[in-house]
Amino acid sequence: MGLSFQLVKAESHTFVVIVNDVSHLPAHIFAQLPGVQKVLAASARCPLAATVQSAGITFANGAHLAEGRMPLVMAGPCSVEGQDSLVDLAVQVKSAGASLLRGGAFKPRTNPYDFAGLGQAALEHLAEARRLTSLPIVSEVMSAEQVEIAEAYVDVYQIGARNMYNYELLKEVGRSNKPVLLKRALSATIKELLQAAEYILLEGNAQVILCERGIRTFETHTRNTLDLSAVAALKTMTQLPVVVDPSHGTGKRNLIRSMSRAAIACGADGLLIEVHQNPAQSISDAEQAITPGELAEIVKDTQIIHFALADRSCQPPDATTPASLQRLAVSAAHI
Ligand code: PEP
Ligand code: MN
């Protein structure tokens, strides 16, 4: 028929995305072709993000990021500062209950004079931390060259808020076979976030994780305004996993725990949190870093909220319901 198309193999189905305008052709022309299960109109503008069925993402350490499962916590320093401190922190975030280690090697900085990360050396430190703890690594890439460099070291490519609109970069990670954590840009609409995800999906990579990290509003008390309604909305629009970054979302360490709780309660599948042994001494984003001990409390909150919501028969634990209190305690001990 002279049409151009792109073949996208997702876990559940193979999609034949017709790139031309076919609005003048009746849908049954395609529906009748052998092997075609369904014809989807692309009028929503994000047909893949809206349709790809995600059974979740399983990492090498067995951690599983998926709707309805125990939310995963990804934690670590804003930027990798050195091998010893990173390894020490990795051990601590693991024992606090984190499932993945985050750490910036290439840092996008608003001010060009700020610390821009240790680059390749940081990637080597991250790989060493993974070797010692088995925690998969999440780290940001800002260009196609960095994707190539990071390939041997990272398990999840992070696309930072400032690069959500970098379509060539989105296509580049779309061609890789690693999961991509896509952060919402500072002033992106929910639809624009999904359209950015669509770029990655269209290249054949269905392992996209969406991340709400706060948007820019008139409020100045917090660094950004964490838009948890976007999490609830995304859950009605896509099956891609959604995680929340309360660190950049608030910019304030004393708000991280509350917003983590709220994120899990509104349906987030995971959290991305900045942690440091000595938060105030963090080279970057010191105001929002928390200690491994504080992280451990957040992980416990996450588990309790998850169980409480998953088990609707579970009554709020109070003195008059000792049986349910016991059940909550057993559930928490079980994990
Ligand atoms: C980060 O995760 O360290 C980061 C730079 O985040 P964002 O892109 O959301 O600002
Ligand atoms: Mn940061």
Give me ligand 2 centre to Cα 127, in Å.
20
* CB-CB contact of 230 with 191 (8 Å): no
How many angstroms separate the alpha carbon of residue 183 from the centre of ligand 2? 12
Give the residue, out of 140, 166, 271, 282, with the most ligand 1 atoms within 8 A of its beta carbon, to mutate for a pocket test.
Answer: 140
Residue 238 has pLDDT above 60, yes or no: yes
Distance 268 CA to ligand 2 centre (A): 20
- The percent of residues in the chain predicted with pLDDT above 90, rounded, is 76
Are 196 and 188 in contact by the 8 Å Cβ rule? The answer is: yes
Check if the beta carbon of residue 185 is closer than 8 Å to that of residue 192. Answer: yes
Question: Distance from the CA of 118 to the center of ligand 2, in angstroms?
Answer: 14
Let me know: does 271 contact 244? Beta carbons within 8 Å: yes
Which one, of 290, 318, 250, lies nearest residue 78 by Cα?
A: 290
- In the reported structure, the alpha carbon of residue 270 is separated from the centroid of ligand 2 by a whole-number distance in angstroms of 17
**What is the whole-number distance in angstroms between the Cα of residue 51 and the centre of ligand 1?**
28
Interval 70-106: pLDDT, tens? 999 999 999 999 999 999 999 999 999 999 999 999 9
For 29-55, give one letter per residue: b (16+ CB within 10 A) or e: ebeeeeeeeebeebeeebbbbbbbebe
Name the pairing type of β-strands 242-244 and 14-18. unpaired
Angstrom distance (rounded) from CA 156 to CA 148:
13
And the tokens for 36? 């075609």
- In the chain, % of residues over pLDDT 70: 92
pLDDT at residue 333 tops 80: no
Q: What is the pLDDT of residues 29-58, one digit of tens each?
A: 888 999 998 888 765 678 888 888 778 999
Q: Greater confidence, 329 or 303? A: 303
Atom of ligand 1 nearest to the CA of 108: 5
What's the chain's length in residues?
335
- Model confidence at 334, pLDDT cuts 50, 70, 90, reads low
Q: How far apart are CA 199 and CA 140, in angstroms?
A: 18
DSSP 8-state class, residue 315: P
| 313: pLDDT strictly greater than 80 | no
Dist CA 22 CA 301 (whole Å):
50
Q: Which atom of ligand 1 is nearest to the CA of 211?
A: 9
Ligand 1, atom 8: nearest CA belongs to which residue?
160
Q: Which of 215, 245, 272 to mutate for ligand 1's pocket (most ligand atoms within 8 Å of CB)?
A: 245
Per DSSP, helices labelled H in the chain are 28-31, 47-51, 83-96, 120-133, 144-150, 167-174, 190-202, 228-237, 246-250, 256-265, 292-310, 322-334
Average pLDDT on 146-172 reads 98
> Is there a contact between 172 and 200 (Cβ–Cβ < 8 Å)?
no
Report CA(335)–ligand 1 centroid distance (Å).
Answer: 30
Confidence class for position 321, pLDDT limits 50, 70, 90: very low
Chain mean position to CA 187: 18
149, two tokens:
């460099």
More confident call, 206 vs 12: 206
Does the pLDDT at position 24 exceed 60? yes
Q: Is the pLDDT of residue 111 over 60?
A: yes
Best of 139, 141, 142, 213 for a ligand 1 pocket test (most atoms within 8 Å of beta carbon): 213
Mean pLDDT of 117-128: 98
38 CA distance to ligand 1 middle (Å)? 39
Report pLDDT digits (tens) over 251-308.
Answer: 999 999 999 999 999 999 999 999 999 999 999 999 999 999 999 999 999 999 999 9
Angle at 273 between CA 247 and CA 106, to 5 degrees: 90
For atom 10 of ligand 1, which residue has the closest CA? 161
Nearest CA to ligand 1 atom 1: 78
Ligand that lies nearest to the alpha carbon of residue 103, given by its number in the listed order: 1
3-class state of residue 279 by DSSP:
helix
Whether 149 contacts 123, CB under 8 Å: yes
CB under 6 Å to ligand 1: residues? 78, 104, 108, 160-162, 183, 213, 248
- Which atom of ligand 1 is nearest the CA belonging to 162? 8
Nearest to 299 by CA among 74, 63, 59: 74
Q: Is 10 helix (H, G, I), strand (E, B) or coil?
A: coil
Among the bound ligands, name the one nearest to the CA of residue 249: 1
